[in-house]
Structure 1
Amino acid sequence: MSIRSGIKIVLVIAVVLLLLVALAWMFQRKLIYLPDATAPSEDQRPASAVDVTLHTEDGLRLTAWLVHPTDRDRGMAVLVAPGNAGNRAGRADLGQRLAAEGFTVLLLDYRGYGGNPGSPDETGLRKDALAAWRYLHDEAGFDNGRMIYFGESLGGGAVSHLATVEPPAAMLLRSPFTDLAAAGQRAFPFLPVRALLHDRFPVESDVAASAVPLTVVIGTEDSIIPAQQSRDVATSAEQAGATVTVVEIAADHNDAVLAFGPEVVQAVVDLSIHCGGC
């Protein structure tokens, strides 16, 4: 191969890499947020749920489901912040199972999800989580000492930040990452993810800042969020003085047992008992 040919190959590779970086910069949120933008149908709604409207501080009206307890009422609310894909219909089983344990459950859909207006980003999801808290506090009548935040994967970034502003009685994070860049680097090891990302979701530092009682549910076979990242979140919270429980389940990220299985539901029950909510 001649020197000239070698230079051409290097230039082609450089151009391709620059193009990939440029595309990642421009369309990164299309890779992060994977909403099902359709509004769930009535037959997807849990039997004891009602439609409610959340009002964000930037003027959006978001639809959500409030699932009423179907067993003895514990007098506690669980705010469920979902992960990055689907809509609230995919969390109906979780809502029903928590309601059967006596919890009032708010199944949040972010902006751009589940028929809601707007486009998701970190700032927006924080506002959406705050709107959900405001509904539970102002409309449903739950003070912070009777709330548990449940953050699923990316949703952990929304509620862990909310906990620094409005600390709940306790919080459960299912499959949390330390921060979004760490999760993104695993998915795209060939890109300078930390330098490119617009959204950060610093879960590890947020749980340390709030130091509320915390349960971390980990999928030991998680192929999307490494189990060690979730363990690091738990360790940081514990070092900050929080009471921390770790529940490890032999499951992958999207397995039903990790989404709404008995160990996950029992973890919420245990948190409520620990914080004196029963």
Structure 2
Amino acid sequence: MAMRLPTRKFWLGLVRRLALYYLLILLAMTFIERWLVYPAPSADEGDWAPPHLEFEEATFTSADGTPLHGWFFKHEKARRSVLYLHGNGVHVADIGDRMPVISRHLQADVLVFDYRGYGKSGGKPIEPGVIEDGLAASAWLAERTGAPASRQVLIGRSIGAGVAVAMAERQGAGCVVAQCAFARLTDPAAKMFPWLPVRLLMRNQFPSVERIQNYHGPYFGCHGTDDTLVPFEQGEQLFRAAPTEQKEFLAYEGMGHNEPLPREYWQRLAAFLEEVGA
């Protein structure tokens, strides 16, 4: 008995159903983009009053009135002011212990703060708002220390590097320090979801490789060769795009995305900042 092959009507119906399912997936991904890009930990997690740390509570508002919160670490003989822009999976209470180390190695006053939607800051994160949050933090730091925005050292880790580059494009910086940085946020996202048109759909694109063209100050980058979240090539690409001769890039063999940087890194960064007068 001969088998009946599927009809043209069957194949058209199948294609329509698959297209509908794909469109539904695209719609769902646009709804959860904020959660994927900004997986902010709960403010209930972490120690917000660690007795072993000496810091000043910093409260200020972003351009649209969003309340922001951070910790300020004062150095008695500060040579520079540092604004630390953290990655997307932590808040201030998670990384407060690192700030005295940075302050000591760089002989710097340090402000670390939370973007909107993180920690004790209000609002919900989105690229334009997060950048405005960084600018507001820079203004607070300038008022507190007397160091103008154009002289501040911006240390950005992962998505924080994207914020740092955007800030430097708009108001300059004493130095941009990029750790585990991407060239564009859409690049690692496209690698993670190759079956989605993320470059067309994403609202949070952080095109750092284009923005860095408008910043001509010192640049100091580093990246681990085993970074599976933001590939090593991304950090290299952003470094090459920086239009300045005052730049340096450190490659760490076998290091992943979230591993702590060695002590030698901070020593080399301190020397670089002295060399460029940051």
Taking structure 1 as the reference length, the TM-score comes to: 0.90
Contact persistence 2:139–2:149 (CA under 8 A): no
CA-atom RMSD, angstroms? 1.9
Fraction of identical pairs, as percent: 24
Secondary structure, aligned partner of 1:256 = coil
Distance 1:111 1:117 in 2: 5
The answer on 1:117 being equivalent to 2:161 is no
Equivalent pair of 1:68/1:104 in contact (CA under 8 Å):
yes
Asked if residue 52 in structure 1 is aligned to residue 52 in structure 2, the reply is no
Higher Cα radius of gyration: 2
Counterpart position of 1:154: 159
Aligned to 1:79: 83
Would the alpha carbon gap of residues 229 and 124 (structure 1) be closer, same or farther in structure 2, given more than 3 Å must change?
A: same
Distance 2:133 2:265 in 1: 24
Report the Cα offset of residue 146 of structure 1.
4.0
Deviation at 1:106, TM superposition (A): 0.7
SS at match of 2:251: strand
1:142-181 matches, within 5 Å, as: 142-144=147-149, 146-181=151-186
Letter in 2 for 1:76: R
Relative distance call for 1:145 and 1:22 in structure 2 (3 A) is closer
Within the candidate set 11, 14, 17, 1:12 is matched to 17
CA 1:212–1:83 in structure 2 vs 1: closer, same or farther (change >3 Å)? same
Q: Which residue of 2 aligns with 1:191?
A: 196
TM-score (norm 2): 0.90
Size of the aligned set, in residue pairs, is 270
Structure 2 unmatched runs, 5+: none
Matched, 1:36 2:41: yes
Matched, 1:244 2:250: no
2:67 match: 61
Aligned equivalents of 1:27 and 1:175: distance in 2? 24
Pick which of 104-113 and 3-12 moved more.
3-12
Q: CA deviation at 1:242?
A: 4.2
Gap regions ≥5 residues in structure 1:
none
Retained in 1: the 8 A contact 2:221–2:239?
Answer: yes
Evaluate the alpha carbon distance shift between residue 242 and residue 160 of structure 1 in structure 2; reply closer, same or farther with a 3 A threshold.
farther
Looking at structure 1, the residues matched to 62 and 144 of structure 2 have their Cα atoms a distance apart, in angstroms, of 14
Give the Cα separation in 1 of the matches to 2:52 and 2:201. 40
| Cα contact 2:246–2:276 (8 A) shared by 1 | no
